Amino acid sequence: MRMKVRRKAGMKRLLYSTIVFGAVLAGGLVPPASAASRLTGVVRDLSGTPASGIKISVFPNWGGNEGVAKTDANGRYELSWNRRGSGGPNTTFCVIARDVASNLAMAREIEEDATTVDLRLERGLVVAGRVENAAGKPLADASVQLHLWAGNMGASFDNKPLSTDARGRFEFTALPPDRRYSLWATAKGYGSANANIQPGEAETNRIELAACVLQVADRKLAGRVLDAEDKPVARVQVHMSGQGQPSESVQTDDQGRFAFSQVCEGRVQLFASSRDGYANARAEGGDTDVVIKLGANDSYSYREAPRRPSLKGKPLPDLAAVGLAREVAPAGKPILLCLFDVEQRPSRHLGRLLTEQHDDLKQKGVTVLGLQAAVTPVEAFSAWKAANPAPFPVGRVAEKSDKTKWALDVESLPWLILADASGRVAEEGFALDELEARLKTLRGAER
């Protein structure tokens, strides 16, 4: 068996949304008990002999119905479960057999209307690793949660996280082989780290993950929630998440104010909702003037910070400060610089369009460059680049400083900047479908 392990930016946010969605379905759409059905089968060990005393469960089981049993002396099991009560109409279900003591396990998907599923145990997968801080010191008592994926949904595998030992170590055993897993680690006073495990390339049934490195959460984050008329909204839940960040919620006070006391350096995603509307906002660890404005029909947000002066007519800022060396922008050619944030859908969409149009722009003599215009850890950025190769150079903002303020303080993302052949900014903040007209104006001015 071969397994491939890779880290993915934004996985934690996806898992959180999936789990919440599943919980809502389970809590609101549970049909009467008459909708329950029986599932039976036989479980056999490695030699094919019926295995007794094996724990059987249906996954996922958000509805909290029976869904758990043990095999009898003949390896037979019978359990009651409710497909509609355990998830949505498109949920993929599995029946799982585990012998933890012998490190044996197996999972098989349950076909629509199936009433019998037999299983044969195989050597269980073992996932082990270590949690440490940025200095490489092990973190004891860190919490490590493992999620199993079935179809396009992931949920807690055994409903309880592991705690790391004094060496920061953890180990999950008797996991069904050839399945997809996700893992994330957290610790008090620190952020989070996550990993994704895919069926693929390991030579044995043991996966030793790279160290889960947690950044210290030593910053604050505060702001206000306002309604469409700029009035404070009290008693609203504000949820915070982000790559490498803790995942927490707080409630606004009577003046609509909220505050998080343990936040890591870097990008933070915020979400608030009420009867007045909902909104997503982005901020940086350490910001204390964030404004989340609820819209009656749509969501929008902004940070209460001064807009930076326009770059139009000025030389393009030093790109070396954001990881774009001088040689990536040949002299004497116009430059199209796209500022984006990989955590935002509009940014990802524009990135795909630029990738599709890159060859055409290159033939027109335009140099295309990309810039992740949000403070992003190098590990997360490298993983994203590896998974999303671009035909043009892409840099990143590594930290907030005077040299990167021009990129961090744009009005919104994505943000296009067009510089002429001399490196002076001709236009910024325009839409991609306006580029052709901007290029014609630029070439006319250069003649």
In this model, does residue 265 exceed pLDDT 80?
A: yes
Equal CATH topology for 1-214 and 219-303? yes
Contacts of 334 (CB under 8 A, 6+ apart): 365, 366, 367, 418, 419, 420, 421, 426, 439, 442
For 112-126, the pLDDT digits (tens) are 888 999 999 999 999
State the Cα–Cα distance between residues 229 and 236, nearest whole angstrom. Answer: 16
For 326-356, the pLDDT digits (tens) are 788 888 899 999 999 887 777 888 888 999 9
Q: Which residue has the higher pLDDT, 35 or 41?
A: 41
Q: pLDDT > 90: what percent of the chain? A: 52
Q: What is the pLDDT of residue 240?
A: 93
For 16-40, the pLDDT digits (tens) are 333 333 333 333 333 343 456 789 9
State the Cα–Cα distance between residues 204 and 183, nearest whole angstrom. Answer: 19
For 413-423, the pLDDT digits (tens) are 889 999 999 99
Q: pLDDT tier at 67 (50, 70, 90 boundaries)? A: low
Verdict on whether the full-model pTM lies above 0.85:
no
In this model, does residue 44 exceed pLDDT 60?
A: yes
Residue 261 three-state SS: strand
Determine the CATH number of domain 319-446. 3.40.30.10
CATH number 3.30.1360.120 is the correct assignment for the domain at 1-214:
no
Strands 367-372 and 394-396: parallel
302 beta partners = 291
If you average pLDDT over every residue of the chain, what do you get?
Answer: 83
Q: Which residue has the higher pLDDT, 164 or 85?
A: 164
State phi, psi for 392 to the nearest 5 degrees.
-130, 155
For 351-380, the pLDDT digits (tens) are 889 999 999 999 999 999 999 998 877 877
| Residue in 140, 162, 198 with CA at minimum distance from that of residue 5 | 198
In this model, does residue 291 exceed pLDDT 80?
A: yes
In this model, does residue 56 exceed pLDDT 60?
A: yes
As a whole number of Å, the end-to-end CA separation of the chain is 64
Superfamily of domain 219-303: Carboxypeptidase-like, regulatory domain (2.60.40.1120)
Cβ-based neighbour number of residue 327 at 10 Å? 8
| Residue in 120, 116, 113 with CA at minimum distance from that of residue 44 | 120
State the Cα–Cα distance between residues 97 and 87, nearest whole angstrom. Answer: 20
Q: pLDDT tier at 88 (50, 70, 90 boundaries)? A: low
Q: Which long-range contacts (CB under 8 A, 24 or more apart) does 153-162 make?
A: 153/18, 153/22, 153/60, 153/87, 153/91, 153/92, 154/14, 154/15, 154/18, 154/19, 154/180, 154/182, 155/18, 155/19, 155/22, 155/59, 155/60, 155/62, 156/19, 157/59, 157/181
| Residue in 129, 140, 144, 397 with CA at minimum distance from that of residue 265 | 397
Indicate the domain borders of the chain.
1-214, 219-303, 319-446
**Cβ–Cβ under 8 Å, residues 242 and 273:** no
Strand order in the sheet with 119-120: 76-81, 37-44, 119-120
State the Cα–Cα distance between residues 210 and 383, nearest whole angstrom. Answer: 13
| CA 332 to mean position of chain CA atoms | 40
